[in-house]
Amino acid sequence: MDARAPNDVNSLASGTWPLQWIGRWESPMQVTIENVVRTYGTTPALHGVSLDIHPGELVALLGPSGSGKTTLLRILAGLDAPTSGRVLFDGDDALKLTVQQRNVGLVFQSYALFRHMSVLDNIGFGLRVRPRIRRPARAEIKRRALELLDLVQLSGLEKRYPSQLSGGQRQRVAFARALAIEPRLLLLDEPFGALDAKVRRDLRRWLREIHDKTGHTTVFVTHDQEEALELADRVVVMSEGRIEQIGTPDEIYDEPNSPFVFSFIGESSSLPVRIEDDQVWLDSTPLGIPRGDLPNGPARLFLRPHDVEITTDSGRGVTGTIAAHRRHGAVRRVELEVGQQRNRVEIELPPALQLRSDHTIAFRPSRYRLYASAQ
């Protein structure tokens, strides 16, 4: 194959990726996780997790520290084994395969590059350590590594060492090394966590464009909600070793199925309310919003700062006293003390408004979720 991979993202987006590169990898893998349990001693890490990952799909495992997302990724990679349950790759039992037999590409937050090896040698490492019968010739390994350097936009840096690269460049080398073995499944563990915000944004766009062209089945672990929503075809929200919700980014953000998902995805506030007489009440004030299908009793109202409408009718809405306000990009973020319990709620207002602490503001949530509460 003489064609070289393009060396800029624009050529990827324009569809000029060489067909030889697209066909280089085998068809993407179907991954099936069935009732996987993992305990460490008496400490549970995963509680019966089940998930289907479709061929060519990019799935984000999203959750706070301790949610089990990295444990699940390590099980897929063969670096850990479940206490019970099954993992299938294209219908075959993956738990019977070694790490090498799984043909999985791994990218870690820490890059995991060999400091004593050049960039070119780092990329070709996975090919050089293959059994002799499957090991490409030295010239072929070098050619693949150079092509991948073009792909990750690092042409000309093949003789440098990791210490001579920036963090973003090191992560691109780590990604190229994972692709060099022609994996059918790509696993990314917090791949951008060690980078600054601008580099993370740039690499997220770059990774999504490469994924769309190569078509790998990709699973990446992150605690960054923005990263998951921007990159993934589907997001798997995890908490305490369980899956809370699976859905597209729009479904996860707009239709969270639990208080945990609502509060974890994006910025939000919540208020204790009660459902009574077909109304939603905050203390003794009706909020003038539909109750949905919730029964009478205590509930919690969740809302996002931008999903509010200012109203002059303080008798039907949420009225709060300004406790603090600050500029927040193109808007002003206002913190209100609300209700008899003086709960704190954040809303967004136009920056031109003249605000003063101890002023009162009345608003009504335009988009919100109500969840039954035990309290």
> What is the per-residue pLDDT across 186-227, written as a single tens digit (0 to 9) for each?
999 988 776 777 777 878 888 888 788 778 899 999 998 999
At 182, is the secondary structure helix, strand, or coil?
A: coil
Cα Rg, the chain, nearest whole Å: 25
pLDDT at residue 339, rounded to an integer? 86
pLDDT over threshold 70, residue 21? no
Residue pair 187/220 in contact (Cβ under 8 Å)? The answer is yes
**Cα gap 256→265, rounded to integer Å:** 8
Where do the H-state alpha helices sit in the chain?
Answer: 9-13, 19-22, 69-77, 99-102, 119-128, 138-151, 167-180, 197-214, 225-231, 249-254, 259-264
Residues 77 and 55: their CA atoms lie apart, in Å, by 17
CA-wise closest residue to 4 among 179, 155, 180: 155
Q: Within a 10 A sphere around the Cβ of 111, how many other Cβ atoms?
A: 22
> Tell me: the pLDDT tens digits for 348-373?
988 887 787 778 898 989 999 999 98
In the predicted model, is pLDDT for residue 57 greater than 90? yes
Residue with tokens 């780092």: 122
Average pLDDT of the segment spanning 247-264: 95
DSSP 74: H
Q: Which domains does the chain carry?
A: 9-259 (3.40.50.300), 267-372 (2.40.50.140)
- Residues 6 or more apart whose CB falls under 8 angstroms from that of 165 comprise 119, 157, 173
What average pLDDT does the segment 178-183 reach? 83
**Residue 363 CB neighbour total at 10 angstroms:** 23
Supply the pLDDT for residue 315: 67
Of 14-28, 98-112, 130-144, 319-333, the one with minimum mean pLDDT is 14-28
Q: What is the mean pLDDT of residues 29-46?
A: 95
Tens of pLDDT, residue by residue over 103-117, are 888 888 776 788 898
Looking at the DSSP assignment, which residues form a beta bridge with residue 242? 239
Give residue 375's pLDDT band: very low, low, confident or very high (50, 70, 90): low
Mapped onto helix, strand or coil, the DSSP state of residue 254 is helix
- The structure tokens 């444990």 sit at 71
Strands (E), 233-350: 234-239, 242-247, 269-276, 279-282, 285-286, 297-303, 308-310, 318-328, 331-338, 343-349
Of 48-52, 199-203, 235-239, 243-247, the least confident: 199-203
CA triplet 136, 103, 191: central angle to 5 degrees?
Answer: 110
Range with the poorest average pLDDT among 12-21, 105-114, 195-204, 241-250: 12-21
With beta carbons less than 8 A apart as the criterion, state whether 34 and 86 touch: yes
pLDDT at 151: 78
Partners of 62 in the β-ladder: 222, 237
Q: How many residues are recorded in the chain?
A: 375
Predicted confidence band at 248 (pLDDT cuts at 50, 70, 90)?
very high
Cα–Cα dist 224/226, whole Å: 6
Over residues 77-107, the pLDDT tens digits come to: 999 999 999 999 999 999 999 888 888 888 8
Q: What is the pLDDT of residue 150?
A: 83
Cα–chain center distance at 236: 8
Query: How much of the chain exceeds pLDDT 90, in percent?
Result: 43
CB 150 within 8 A of CB 6: yes
User: Which of 11-20, 33-42, 295-304 has the lowest average pLDDT?
Assistant: 11-20
Within its chain, how far is the Cα of 76 from the centroid? Answer: 17
Mean pLDDT over all residues of the chain? 85
What integer is the mean pLDDT of 16-32?
58
More confident call, 248 vs 10 = 248
Backbone angles phi, psi at 182, to 5 degrees: 55, 60
Strands 297-303 and 285-286: unpaired
Look at 9-23, 26-40, 299-313 and tell me which has the smallest mean pLDDT: 9-23
Distance in angstroms (rounded) separating the CA atoms of residues 82 and 250: 31
Round to whole Å and give the CA distance between 55 and 184: 9
Label residue 26 by pLDDT band (50, 70, 90). Answer: low
Cβ distance 63 to 255 under 8 Å?
no
Where residue 229 falls among pLDDT bands split at 50, 70, 90? very high
Residue whose entry in the numeric block shows the structure tokens 């206002």: 334
Q: Is the pLDDT of residue 12 over 70?
A: no
pLDDT of residue 306: 93
- The answer, yes or no, to whether residue 129 has pLDDT greater than 50, is yes
Report the distance separating Cα 217 and Cα 59, nearest Å.
8
Residue 333 has a pLDDT of 92
Q: What is the pLDDT of residues 256-286, one digit of tens each?
A: 999 999 999 989 999 999 999 888 999 988 8
Of 338, 275, 271, 320, which Cα lies nearest the Cα of 300?
271
Residue 11: pLDDT above 90?
no
- Phi/psi of residue 259, nearest 5 degrees: -55, -35
